[in-house]
Structure 1
Amino acid sequence: MHPKTVYPYIPNSVPQVKAAMLAATGARSIDDFYADIPAALRAPRAMNLPAPLLSEARLKRHVQGLLARNRPCSEVLSFLGGGCYQHHVPAICDEINGRSEFLTAYAGEPYEDHGRFQALWEYCSMMGELLHLDVVSIPTYDGLQAAATACCMAARYTGRQRVLLAGNLSPDKCSHIRTYGRSTIVFDSFAFDAVTGSIDQSALAAQLGPDVAAVCIDNPNYFGAIEDGPALARLVHASGALLVVGVDPGSLGVLTAPGDYGADIVCGDIQTLGMHMNYGGGHGGFIATRDEPALVMQYPSRLFGIAPTEVPGQYGFGDVAYQRTSFDKRENGNEFVGTAAALWGITAGVYLASMGPQGMAELGEGILQRVAYARAQIAAIPGVRLAHPGSAHFKEFVVDFNATGRSVATINALLREHAIFGGHDLSGLFPQLGQAGLYAFTELHSQADIDTLVQTLALVTRP
């Protein structure tokens, strides 16, 4: 930033405004203002930025040029997943979440309610029915934060400070959990079986002990493999720890809900329930538990309940155990809670209401069928193998390209030339898998789409 440039979108770049702000703080200069920040953390020179675009028209043209370089999944065949998925979004989801009483009201206030609390209560109720659990939070920022908070809840509940993370969790999720909880929790990881892609139960058992607050897993895991939930729950509970399970809510029309096989805290992301992919956005996390008061009091976020009013036959919707939160206790709350993703909760509620139990079952069945077909066809390509051929999978699976002699990066570049986005490159994230890619399939993929992928993979991997 040039010191004499006045930027139309940065009010404090006006010299008089900057001088007034410095005077109000008692600072003689910008360097004086930032004196409390150690010199080692400050940039010693100006940032290497391009010349500013001071005209709104030129700035708009520049941004449009950047956006034009993006190639959305609507224009290509995409098999990317790993946490953000291309699902069908019913038009009613966009219609309802665009209503002014939902779209503009920040957390439901200071605007009048207009049904926002009830809409969120309805969302939580439907999520509870899907998860087979009693208590569901309003959406957290995303599924990664939900997992991190679930681990913190377990530590507070048990009074223990060690959490074990499955080795087949998303690397992004592990990073977020560790960053979020590192001030109070010690994190360790345990191995997965490279042959099956599932948790190595003997490796987990070796690390369990009286200091472990929780074991955090995903089911299906990051590779799409379905874990043995009941066996893991028995193993974890025998040590007095809690089982934290991350789950794709879109899988629960066909897979057993984690609460039914012993999960204590269930969390995940609701992006699959009516949210578009938005440059990595469009996410909201959920946390769910049984209705045990000591466990419920560990939630940091708002919980909505229903209660009768003074008017017979009428009900109200509002906060439950509000004294848990940082809104009430400020720095003494369980955790600080800032902006949530409540709008996506309303969107997910609309999605669940429009789908119903039968729709969720059909969604899951269709994805299972597509995955089974894709696995069979891809496994028949010369030199291409399935990384975990003996495991059941939902939505995703790992493709092994080691025998082709080509890297995943090369294969993905060749696929892009055919208007196909290949799977996530796992070679750097999971080096024990070698050259392997994570491929995702949803209800939007037709048999012809899968056939096109298989034919193109056969072409680009040919010696």
Structure 2
Amino acid sequence: MTAPFVHPYIPNTAPESRAAMLAAVGAETVDEFYADVPEALRLGRPLDLPAPFVAEQDLARHVRGLLAKNRSTQERLSFLGAGTYNHYVPAVVDEVIGRSEFLTAYAGEPYEDHGRFQALFQYQSLMAELLEMDVVNVPTYDGYQATATGLAMAGRLTGRPRVLVASDVLPAKTSKVHDYIRAHLTLDHLPTVNGTADVAAVRAALGDDVAAVWVETPSATGAVEAALREIADAAHAAGAVLVVGTDPIGYGVLAPPALAGADIVTGDIQSLGLHQWFGGAHGGFIAVHDDPRFVMEMPSRLFGLATTDVPGEYGFGDVAYDRTSFAHREEGKEWVGTAAALWGIAAGVYLSLMGPAGMAELGEVLLASTRYAQQSLSALPGVTLDDDAVHLREFTVTLPVPAAEVVSALRAQGIEPGVVVDEHRLLVCVTELTSQSDIDRLASALAAVVAPELAEEQNR
């Protein structure tokens, strides 16, 4: 029998130490800690790792080989979206967040400030102006967690157990939100109509057990919700909270959810000056009105103007710190860990560079490019748009051939045509970096797959 491996620097690998720790928590084996993880998600075998490298140069060569397998959207024509987007990042954004005083823009207090609190205060202020809200938090992990927290806040405020999901939501986001709130809230998914919420279905499902109505706009398919005011009025009449998950990129031209009655607005700031970086730099925001009931339910940090020990002098620091788990520890309403503060600084630089006019121009370009792409693809034989809603950046099409075949065929030409939704549906995304000629190239390549005769005639 092989003796158990004991690491020289990791004490809990020693059998006696591990046994003592298990006894202290009342567990028989380490496997008990993973009871909530479905068997299908467990590896069931050791990691497939190479033998240890003796020399540093050998390890460096191995890692370079792994990285060389990646293909970025700088190398390929990409129409991929679904939560991580290829927007332009101004050079000054990278310059600022690369500065040494911001590289440790974490959450805790051990680090010297060097303007970090002020930079995040400015980010919060810019986001509040963009969203027409009063209070915005320091970024959390990502937009998924921010939306989950927004729903948890609604549950605490109302004391009710049910959430109505009125929009199409990305499956990954639904999974993350469910995992976060499942101990206290249940998700009740309602049907959508023509890409957006079915207001009649929302009204019919509302009751005194509903904590919140959750609306995504743009939705998972890029549809912009047109009936937000009606949904807000219905939710409020039933004593429920309206929680909106969104992407702030379009609010230079679109009316922010707060103006239509949203109580809690959440989302991700990846679109605001953050690269895709093979999965994206993500940070979540939570925005509320200046209402103490809502503000005091926000678990994450807020930076604001604060008095100092010098009379008449102000600085930037934590606001209502006693809300947080940092203050209450295990007695806190909701645990908050590592913040994505550096990404908040990046988004703040981006918004300050763009300004209201820049955000408006960007929104107009996104709407126009999305519509041009919809018209170009739906003009192909057998290709249809899935709804008539207004779309921002993303939309779905139904194809006459399997979507996976389209992806394989176009990928061979250096084009990523979109994300497969189901057998015949494709989610297509455009940004300000997608030119008209890029869209035309996609349409031409798609025509060669779905209508080869037409493509051949056009190429004559």
TM-score by length of 1: 0.89
1:198/1:226 contact within 8 Å kept: yes
Q: For the residues of structure 2 that align with 1:28 and 1:440, how far apart are their CA atoms?
A: 50
The aligned counterpart of 2:225 is 227
Distance 1:184 1:17 in 2: 36
Question: Cα distance, 1:34 vs. partner?
Answer: 7.6
Distance 1:331 1:376, change over 3 A: same
Tell me which of 400, 411, 414 is aligned to 1:416.
411
User: 2:44 & 2:269 partners in 1: Cα distance?
Assistant: 43
Match of 2:317 in 1: 318
Q: TM-score, normalised by structure 2?
A: 0.90
Counterpart of 1:217 in structure 2 is: 215
Residue 369 of structure 1 and its aligned partner are, at CA, apart by 1.0
Q: Which residue number in structure 1 is paired with residue 428 of structure 2?
A: 439
SS in 1 for 2:67: helix
Q: Is the partner of 2:196 in helix, strand or coil? A: coil
Distance in structure 1 (CA, Å) of the matches to 2:139 and 2:319: 15
Is 1:307 the counterpart of 2:306? The answer is yes
- Post-superposition CA distance 1:25-72 (Å, at most 9, x none): 66599xxx9834357969998526344232333332222212111111
What amino acid is the match of 2:353?
A: S
Amino acid aligned to 1:230: R
Picking from 28, 52, 59, the partner of 1:35 is 28
Distance in 2 separating the partners of 1:19 and 1:239: 52
Give matches, 1:375-394, under 5 Å. Answer: 375-388=374-387, 390-394=388-392
Superposed, 1:122-137 pairs within 5 Å as 122-137=122-137
Partner SS, residue 187 of structure 1? strand
Deviation at 1:377, TM superposition (A): 1.2
Deviation track 1:317-355 (CA, whole Å, cap 9, x = no partner) reads: 111111111100001111111111011001100000010
Q: Secondary structure of 1:13's match?
A: coil
Which residue among 13, 16, 38 is the counterpart of 2:7? 13
Give distance in 2, aligned partners of 1:280 and 1:53.
28
Alignment of 1:352-367 (within 5 A): 352-367=351-366
SS of the aligned residue for 2:62 comes to helix
Task: Output the CA distance in 2 between the equivalents of 1:28 and 1:420.
Answer: 52
Sequence identity (%): 50
Aligned partner of 2:140 in structure 1 is: 140
Aligned partner of 1:282: which letter? A
Tell me how far apart the structure 1 counterparts of residues 283 and 188 of structure 2 sit (CA, whole Å).
26
Matching residue of 1:247: 246
| Distance in 2 between residues matched to 1:407 and 1:442, nearest whole Å | 25
* Equivalent pair of 1:165/1:174 in contact (CA under 8 Å): no
Distance in 2 (CA, whole Å) between partners of 1:96 and 1:131 is 24
Match of 1:399 among 397, 400, 423: 397
Please list every run of 5 or more consecutive structure 2 residues that lacks an aligned counterpart in the other structure: 453-460
Residues in 2 aligned to 1:271 and 1:54: alpha-carbon distance in whole angstroms: 36
- Structure 1 segment 80-91 matched on structure 2, within 5 A: 80-91=80-91
CA distance in 2, matches of 1:20, 1:252: 52
User: How far apart are the structure 2 equivalents of 1:342 and 1:245?
Assistant: 22
Q: Give 1:153 deviation, angstroms.
A: 0.3
Q: 1:21 to 1:130 in 2, by over 3 A?
A: same
Aligned partners of 1:49 and 1:352: how far apart in 2?
A: 44
Does the 8 Å contact 2:72/2:278 carry over to 1?
Answer: no
2:70, 2:27 → 1: CA distance?
38
